[in-house]
Homo-oligomer: A and B are copies of this chain.
């Protein structure tokens, strides 16, 4: 796709990492914290999840500068048992809080299922990044979070009340790479509606409703309206359930309590997450589990293909292959995203990309 190539700039991962770390260090984050935020954002771009990559850096910066996200949060455990904890993230960056939560989950989840609920956190990037930490320790990782903007209406409604709440599941394998599901509950990401609006193109039917809750293919009307859940009432049920799981076990915001990631720079978002860890060895011999996972993966990959299909991929495989390729050849960023990064550099007085 020539147009995509023209609209993107290819940058080496290392340059992006240096830049990002510098930005967040400059804004007061401890070195390790700046590194994890950088890694989360850049990994998303490496994996082709541009919606959760460096396009988010400017709003992260803006919120830190506005003081509505804490650069050096005082996290504390509100409640704890052998297999559970409630973590108050002290309004820190979502990545900084999520790293701590997953550390606790993996520590408590060595021999038993462990679940950590989180409040007073923020946008934590692509959710699969966090679930994917469990397979490294021979655990299945499960993650839920609240989306940072209410732009979905309840099924049949015409009022924004729900985020496009994602969930992620990561299962370790043997020789094969982990299977990683990472998805939100809408038909299409709202970012795609923005792109259509920029280009003056209609959006497909079934993506969005206008502000009255009626179907629309006009991207401008859609941006005043709502993103539709995937598969109708099923996606609605999913986003409700994932949102409640993310917020009700920790005191995090839900529904009308959710403020807007981009538009509200005064109130902390009180974002909630729920992280779970299931250690394989609590249920099955590791060698058997690994062998069976590899068999399942090989079988799926080897099925007869539909005409014109080049290959079958497992959930998370496309992202993994892209990551490898882009580490070698560079990370394609939209020109608009690069412009945003350069503006941040100018504002912070740091070396530009």
Q: Please list the residues of chain A having a beta carbon within 8 angstroms of any beta carbon in chain B.
A: 79, 81-84, 86, 111-115, 117, 140, 153-159, 161-162, 169, 171, 179, 181, 183, 187, 209, 212-214, 230-231, 234-238, 240-241, 244-245, 247-251, 254-256, 276, 278, 280, 282-284, 288-289, 292-293, 295-296, 299-301, 303-307, 309, 311-315
B residues less than 8 Å from A304 (CB atoms): 157-159, 213
**A153-B306, A161-B303, A169-B241 known; 19 other A-B pairs, CB under 8 Å?**
A79-B283, A81-B111, A83-B112, A84-B113, A84-B283, A86-B283, A113-B113, A155-B313, A156-B306, A157-B300, A158-B305, A158-B306, A162-B300, A179-B244, A230-B231, A241-B315, A249-B280, A249-B289, A255-B299
Could you write out 16 A-B pairs with CB less than 8 Å apart? A79-B282, A84-B283, A113-B113, A113-B115, A113-B276, A115-B282, A153-B306, A179-B241, A183-B238, A213-B305, A231-B231, A231-B235, A240-B300, A249-B278, A250-B283, A255-B299
A156 to B303, CA, bound (A): 9
| Beta-carbon nearest neighbor of A109 in chain B | B113
Shortest CB-to-CB span from A232 to chain B, Å, is 9
A292 and B248 contact, CB distance less than 8 A: yes
Q: Which of A81, A117, A187 counts the most chain B CB atoms within 10 A?
A: A81
B residues less than 8 Å from A234 (CB atoms): 183, 230
A248 interface neighbour in B117, B162, B296, Cβ under 8 Å: B296
A237 interface neighbour in B114, B140, B183, B280, Cβ under 8 Å: B183
Known A183-B237, A292-B254; contact A306-B212, beta-carbon cutoff 8 A: yes
A56 to B307, CA, bound (A): 35
A171 to B243, CA, bound (A): 11
B292 and A241 contact, CB distance less than 8 A: no
B residues less than 8 Å from A250 (CB atoms): 283-284
Shortest CB-to-CB span from A127 to chain B, Å, is 13
A251 to B276, CA, bound (A): 22
Shortest CB-to-CB span from A181 to chain B, Å, is 4
A209 to B307, CA, bound (A): 12
Shortest CB-to-CB span from A240 to chain B, Å, is 6
B303 and A248 contact, CB distance less than 8 A: no
A249 and B284 contact, CB distance less than 8 A: yes
A83 to B282, CA, bound (A): 9
